[in-house]
Amino acid sequence: MKFLGKIWSRLYIAIAIVFFVAPLLSMARFAFQRIPMISLGKDNLFKRWTIDGLLTTLRDPEFLHSLSVSLKVAFFTVLVILFLMVPTTLWVHLSAPRWRGVVETVTILPYVVPPIALVVGVSGTYRSIAPWFLASNYSLVPFYAILAMPFTFRSLDVGIKALDLRTLVDAAKSLGASSGRVMWNILLPNLRTSLINAAFLTFTVVLGEFTIASLLLKRTLPMYMAQAQGSEPQGALGLGLLILVLTTILFTLVSIIRKKDSTSINVKNINVGMVP
Amino acid sequence: MSALEFVNVSKSFRDVNALSNFTIALEQGELVSLLGPSGCGKTTALRIAAGFETADTGAILLGSTNIISLPAHQRRMGMVFQSYSLFPHLNIRDNVAFGLKVRGVPGDARKKRAEEMLDLVRLSDLGHRMPHQISGGQQQRVALARALATEPHVLLLDEPLSALDAKIRVEVRDEIRRLNRDLGVTTMFVTHDQDEAMSISDRICVMNNGVIEQTGSPRDVYNNPATSFVAHFVGSINSLPRGNTRVLIRPENLVLATHDESAHWRGTITDTTFVGAFTKISLVLDNDNSSVSVLAISTQIDNNIAIGKSIGINEATR
């Protein structure tokens, strides 16, 4: 039985690898082999590899422009969402635990309201009262902040739950720290992992978002890639692969940081029991 | 002039009176325990003193200054919590130095003072460790050092021993008493454990339902309880019939009757517990159905002491 089990588990892993790796390999062959797609086969697996297509795309000023738009929008979205969600989540935990359910429900709104409804509703309103708002690339920021709410709230919520927040705040105050000081010197350092997680997830959401950008006609990276698939398909797919590799590396880095943090902050040792 | 004084402090949460006209004065250097069951208001009183809760009415005097409207971070109260509450991201020395850093003490002086304080709680070799790398008892001693580093007006301790093992609890308890004596720091100690309160306090303030039942020395509270609640909460006590009334007698003040005919009360043994220095005998009175505990010294125990046997008891002559 044990032997059979081992075989099964190996088989599952093999299937999973084929499932995930096969499309990536096909993508790589299409993007980086200068052979017409119709004649790609197992005989020419190692022939005529080149990154020319990718390089052409990377040199395209359109690409650089869309990348810079996406990065700027992502950066400001991270700022906005942290600025909104950090105080809200702390407030819910410290002073208004009864409101936690409400806040949580509000944060999952982007799952309930489809992006198309959101854009149509918001743009309809702004076109009549402040048309300049939708003209700017940064009009994407509030939309993306809404999309990032669920990840951000959950990430912060989990981080805060692992701390004995009330007591840490009280301890710091009794030692003479003002509210601002408590925030900077106690809360933010202890929520570092949550903040990094939240920021990173927000960043990836923004870099991958297509629907809203397309509805609002903004030249973001996903928009560029969708368009380039028509004009320069090899380059566009190569770019897709490159982004995949880069995000994987980033994810690994984040999880390394997370591991380091979770060994330095041992949740088990934080006693939350209180006898009034 | 008292070091810390509560004057008619009241506080209610919604409809519940957590504290009613709470009035007590702590002398300089005194260690006073607030003792009572869960929800008796002891922690509320402490949190009001620390500035974490606002009182509905009343005054808190520090010397002659009323600090009732001062925010927590300006009160200079040292506080230690049940749950250690060391800052997880700072090492032990930085934890102790935190209050000094906040007050703008320069780096070198801060470090020196932190080392001194760690020395005082005998943990000077652990300064570089992180909080999760030391034991609960050590964490609580660091919390004490941290609270004392800024030379607070009053040290407030909120059930500081409750999360510790029995043996460590006694060690940290003695440490608290020693620091209180050596530094002469006025200390308010909240606990629900009467043994803890008895062994550490100059005075005990027994509380129930938001009011003070009795304030006095441990000896006083134990030997001359002011109310039935105090008698029952501090130590164990038996309620025995005498004529038409009932008397309250502690188990150690009851003795087994040597001659059956001279026994004041008679009963049937329901349980015996050997504790070493003495044996605790539980019995149910014959005419009264009330259960009674007697502490008998082992020399008094003979073959008649067994479950189901009938024995007589008397009040010990003091």
With CB atoms and an 8 Å threshold, state whether A274 touches B38.
Answer: no
Nearest to A177 among B52, B85, B102 (CB): B102
Q: Residue A269: its pLDDT value, please? A: 38
Q: Residue B255: its pLDDT value, please? A: 85
In chain A, what percentage of residues exceed pLDDT 70? 94
Measured in Å, how far apart are chain A's first and last C-alpha atoms? 55
| CB crowding B95-117: b at 16 or more within 10 Å, else e | bbbbbbbbeebeeeebbebbeeb
Ramachandran assignment for B39, one of left (phi > 0), alpha (psi -120 to 50 degrees), beta (any other): left
Q: Which residue of chain B has the CA closest to A192?
A: B89
In chain A, the domains with their CATH numbers are 1-50 (no CATH), 51-261 (1.10.3720.10)
With CB atoms and an 8 Å threshold, state whether B87 touches A171.
Answer: yes
Calculate how close chain B gets to A248, using CA atoms only, in Å: 28
Nearest-angstrom CA–CA distance, A65 and A219: 8
Provide, as residue numbers in chain A, all residues whose Cβ is less than 8 Å from the Cβ of B137: none
In chain B, the domains with their CATH numbers are 4-231 (3.40.50.300), 237-315 (2.40.50.100)
Q: Per the structure block, which two tokens stand in for A34?
A: 């200068």
Q: Does B14 touch chain A (CB under 8 A)?
A: no
Give B61's contacts (C-beta < 8 A, 6+ positions apart).
Answer: B2, B4, B5, B7, B67
Nearest to A189 among B89, B147, B163 (CB): B89
Residue count of chain A, please give it: 276
Instruction: Pick the closest to residue B313 from B273, B286, B277, B276 (CA basis).
Output: B286
Distance, CA of A187 to chain centre: 23
With CB atoms and an 8 Å threshold, state whether B150 touches A264.
Answer: no
Nearest to A273 among B39, B83, B87 (CB): B83
* Cβ atoms of B99 and B91 closer than 8 Å: no
Question: B299 pLDDT band (50/70/90 cuts)?
Answer: low
Q: Does B112 touch chain A (CB under 8 A)?
A: no
Calculate how close chain B gets to A169, using CA atoms only, in Å: 9
Q: Does A264 touch chain B (CB under 8 A)?
A: yes
Distance, CA of A20 to chain centre: 20
Position A74, amino acid? A
Interface with B, mutate which of A182, A195, A275 (most B CBs under 10 A): A275
* Cβ atoms of B172 and B161 closer than 8 Å: yes
Q: Residue B260: its pLDDT value, please? A: 60
Neighbours of B262 (CB within 10 A): 9
Q: Per the structure block, which two tokens stand in for A185?
A: 């010197």
With CB atoms and an 8 Å threshold, state whether A172 touches B74.
Answer: no
Q: Which residue of chain A has the CA closest to B78?
A: A174
Between A262 and A10, name the one with better pLDDT.
A10
Kind and range of the H or E run holding B78: strand B77-80
pLDDT beyond 90 at B61: yes
B177-228 pLDDT per residue, tens:
999 999 999 999 999 999 999 999 999 999 999 999 999 999 999 999 999 9
Q: Which residue of chain B has the CA closest to A173?
A: B73
Rounded to 10 deg, the angle between the A100-107 and A61-94 helix axes is 170
A24-81 pLDDT per residue, tens:
888 888 888 877 777 777 777 777 888 888 888 888 888 899 999 999 999 999 999 9
Strand partners, B266: B312
Interface with B, mutate which of A269, A270, A272, A274 (most B CBs under 10 A): A269
Rounded to 10 deg, the angle between the A61-94 and A192-208 helix axes is 140
Nearest-angstrom CA–CA distance, B222 and B228: 12
With CB atoms and an 8 Å threshold, state whether A171 touches B51.
Answer: no
Concatenating the DSSP letter of every residue in A192-223 gives HHHHHHHHHHHHHHHHH--HHHHHTT---HHH
Position B279, amino acid? T
